[in-house]
Chain A
């Protein structure tokens, strides 16, 4: 794991934007096409793990879409976040199949375990907890995804053990 410098642990700190790289995403991968807005935002989010405001402003001019509309899209869709997220993203499935198998209890355990107190991200930026509605692995419910790893059939008692593996 990379050492995290103090500046990135401050959620309010400005991120450095590499505009050349941003150009590449907008122009080469997505043809400067405003119909690709959602996918461009996804690419930006993948790169910065959230949508830094300057990128949105820049994007607005690049593809000629009003900032208000970009902001609208960025806030309408659940996957986008305007705030920085933690180093590890925990997605707890809150789909119906997982719900009836005790997904809610698992979420409570995680919140408890990470002392989230209603927040989504831990103070040390190690984890962000998000709810998702079904990742399509219902047969393994309750399901928990940490970054790209899917953990299935987890009881509330397994939470600690799983989270320990992520720094």
Chain B
């Protein structure tokens, strides 16, 4: 069936909305994004199907990720007239019991339960009544919306992730999907759409933070076959917002691209997806087929004379291909080398034609903005950065996961309230934002409200949204070395300052980490950094020194410890520390001795153990294993 009008859409929406919120039979939703699967979600899903085969009064369905990756596999159970309950860490051995307990209204095993849902509606479903409105909530079970992890979030880009089956276009439509496209097609002129996006203040979520509306307007002004391209290269290590959106709600991105196409006047779209994301590609392929089936992609979309198709291309493991000109070269089947942007890609990009490139999250926001208006969106966030931003909160943090918060939320709020603070109660040291182009932010800036401009002021950048928390065990010199090593590998090598400059800086940092640092190294790093930043051709080079410069600025003491005292206080750089067992703290539990691959630890049960420096290869296994903090860094 082709959807020809808003009424057609309305019909599907009504039908599936009722299936979503008032299912005929109990519905079990298993989180099956990549890491949900890796955590055991798929095994749990299969086990559930085995135990509750079709027609048994229980339907088992897959969904995306509600973001709390730490407690995956997540399972939600929905039944008409009953509270919706989300269960945590439900592996295959538990899922049967969990489902049975729900069916029997037994909610005593509270450690299985993450919380109950107060209101499952998305931001696009204000017109509906809360499906859980009249239902008596469970006693003693917290509402998800009241937990620190979820309570501080506002889900716009992630509005459907974890709520719908990503392989069901109908469920996307049920939650208000594709209505914005029809508005764009029927109620607005292209100029009006662009104006709405401009007024909303939406800035590109891929890192640069350029106004999406301005970019669209410029692209629309240039003549020729125009292309709409989605940047799903997500090269920033430690960031997976885009993956999660593509895996959990692919249609939101397709709809965003469609609206951009209507506004800019384009008939061809491209999706450039990272090679490491096979599941995202799979879900996109399904989504595109479904959209074609309903006439939402292809010829005469929605019965109008607008036509648009989307082709998926995959990258092949090159970080620099996230850069706009390199990405377009790669789309053409070439080596992904950036070019100088005297002429912007909105004028001459892919195939030398006007091309509009936006990030996954940028597009995912678009349908919500068109549906709810520019003022609504601009009402959230800060002066210069509107709306929300998705962050992947990872590293040494208790609650790892994907969080979406209003721009301007403080780092402290994100890390301590939502994230639950540092893992194993260790000492917070820094949070890294912006990936290899960003910087490390120390404790003293934790009260900073996160937005594009504030992060730039302190030498980091917003980047695409990776937020990596580092603790006392992270060596900041090693982190700087790590990023430069990454960038050395990923530099395309065509311009000197980047290719040679990064290599030289890396050499110096490696020397420092190996214990050969000398006076003046830090100053030399600063000087080289300045040169690389100023003289490189593309963003990879110009931002490459950021991780080095911020760590020098905020953690100079660690550089000094490495260079002057020849010590790595964090216990990372192997030549600059050794492990010792503190006889006062050691209980003689033998754990370290059993685990040591070198048989370097000896001692009698219940007696303090001794570590043989000669044999030790500093693999850190004993340090991680000891529950009494008896293995110490010297």
Q: Which residues of A contact B (CB under 8 A)?
A: 33-39, 41-42, 65, 69, 72-73, 76-80, 94-97, 99-102, 105, 108-109, 112, 132-141, 143, 150-152, 155-157
| Cβ contacts under 8 Å, B468 to chain A | 96-97, 100
Judged by a CB distance under 8 angstroms, whether B126 is at the interface is no
Contacts A109-B619, A138-B394 given; does A100 touch B479 at CB 8 Å: yes
Q: Provide the residues of chain B in CB contact with A101, threshold 8 Å.
A: 395-396
Are B276 and A134 in contact (CB-based, < 8 A)? yes
| CB proximity of B430 to chain A, nearest CB, Å | 10
B277 and A109 form a contact (CB under 8 A): no
Lowest 9 A-B CB distances belong to which pairs? A95-B237, A139-B69, A77-B316, A37-B333, A78-B317, A136-B240, A150-B38, A134-B237, A139-B400
Do the beta carbons of A72 and B277 come within 8 Å of each other?
A: no
B470 on the A face (CB < 8 A): yes
- B314 lies within 8 A of A38 (CB): yes
Asked if B113 lies at the interface with its beta carbon under 8 angstroms from chain A, I say no
* Given known A-B contacts A78-B316, A134-B237, A150 and B37 have beta carbons under 8 A apart: yes
Given A105-B619, A133-B486, check contact A140 B35 (CB 8 Å).
Answer: yes
Give the chain B neighbours of A141 by CB distance below 8 A.
394-395
User: Which parts of B397-425 form the interface with A (CB within 8 Å)?
Assistant: 400-401
**Residue in B closest to A132 when the chains form the complex, CB atoms:** B276
**A39-B313, A134-B240, A139-B401 are known contacts. Are A157 and B625 too (CB-CB below 8 A)?**
yes
On chain A, the residues within 8 Å of B315 by CB distance are: 38, 77
Report the bound CA distance from A94 to B624 in whole Å.
19
Also in contact, A156 and B486, with CB within 8 A (given A136-B243, A139-B70): no
The answer to whether A100 and B474 touch across the interface, beta carbons within 8 angstroms, is yes
Q: Taking A109-B597, A155-B624 as contacts, is the C-beta distance between A100 and B34 under 8 angstroms?
A: no
In the complex, besides A108-B619, A134-B236, 14 extra interface pairs with C-beta distance below 8 angstroms are: A34-B333, A38-B314, A42-B316, A77-B316, A78-B317, A95-B238, A96-B466, A132-B276, A137-B35, A137-B240, A138-B35, A138-B240, A140-B69, A155-B624
Q: Are B38 and A140 in contact (CB under 8 A)?
A: yes
A-B contact pairs, 12 of them (CB 8 A): A42-B316, A76-B318, A100-B468, A102-B624, A105-B619, A112-B597, A134-B239, A135-B276, A139-B70, A140-B35, A140-B69, A141-B395
* B interface, CB within 8 angstroms of A: 34-35, 37-39, 69-70, 72, 234-240, 243-244, 275-277, 313-319, 330-336, 392, 394-396, 400-401, 432, 435, 466, 468, 470, 474, 479, 482-483, 486, 489, 492, 595, 597, 617, 619-621, 624-625
Query: In the complex the two chains form, is B238's CB within 8 Å of A97's CB?
Result: yes
Contacts of A69 in B (CB 8 A): 334-335
- Cβ–Cβ contact B314 & A133, under 8 A: no
**B316: which of A33, A79, A99, A157 is its contact (CB, 8 Å)?**
A79
Closest beta carbon of chain A to B226's beta carbon, Å? 17
B35: which of A95, A96, A132, A136 is its contact (CB, 8 Å)?
Answer: A136
Are A96 and B432 in contact, with the CB atoms below 8 A? Answer: yes
Smallest Cβ distance from B633 to chain A, in angstroms?
Answer: 14
Given the complex, which residues of B lie within 8 Å of A156, measured CB to CB?
Answer: 619-621, 624
Find chain B residues with CB under 8 A from A100 CB.
395-396, 468, 470, 474, 479
Nearest B-chain residue to A70, judged by Cβ: B333
Q: Cβ of A77: which chain B residues have Cβ within 8 Å of it?
A: 315-318, 336
CB distance from B419 to the nearest CB of A (A): 11
Given contacts A96-B395, A136-B234, are A152 and B334 in contact (CB under 8 A)? no
B38 touches A152 (CB 8 A): yes
The smallest C-beta distance from B415 to any residue of chain A, in angstroms, reads: 14
**A102 near B35: Cβ-Cβ < 8 Å:** no
What residue of chain A has the Cβ atom nearest to residue B469's Cβ?
A100
Chain A residue numbers with a CB within 8 Å of B620 are 102, 105, 156
Tell me which residues across on chain B come within 8 A of A135, comparing CB atoms. Answer: 34, 276
Residues on A with beta carbons closer than 8 Å to the beta carbon of B236: 134
CA distance A102 to B400 in the complex (A): 16
Separation in Å of the A41 CB from the closest CB of chain B?
7
* Chain B residues near A150 (CB-CB < 8 A): 34-35, 37-38
A73–B70 alpha-carbon span in the complex (Å): 38
Contacts of B275 in A (CB 8 A): 42, 79
A36 to B625, CA, bound (A): 49
Which residue of chain A has the shortest Cβ distance to B69 in the bound complex?
A139
Whether the Cβ atoms of B237 and A96 lie closer than 8 Å is yes
Q: Determine the residue in chain B with the shortest Cβ distance to A109.
A: B619
Interface centre among B34, B435, B620 (most CB of A within 10 A): B620
Contacts of A97 in B (CB 8 A): 237-238, 392, 394-395, 466, 468
Q: Give the chain B neighbours of A79 by CB distance below 8 A.
A: 275, 316-317
Chain A residues, CB < 8 A from B319: 133
Q: How far is the CB of A98 from the nearest CB of chain B, in Å?
A: 8
Which of B315, B395, B479 is packed against the most chain A CB atoms within 10 Å? B395
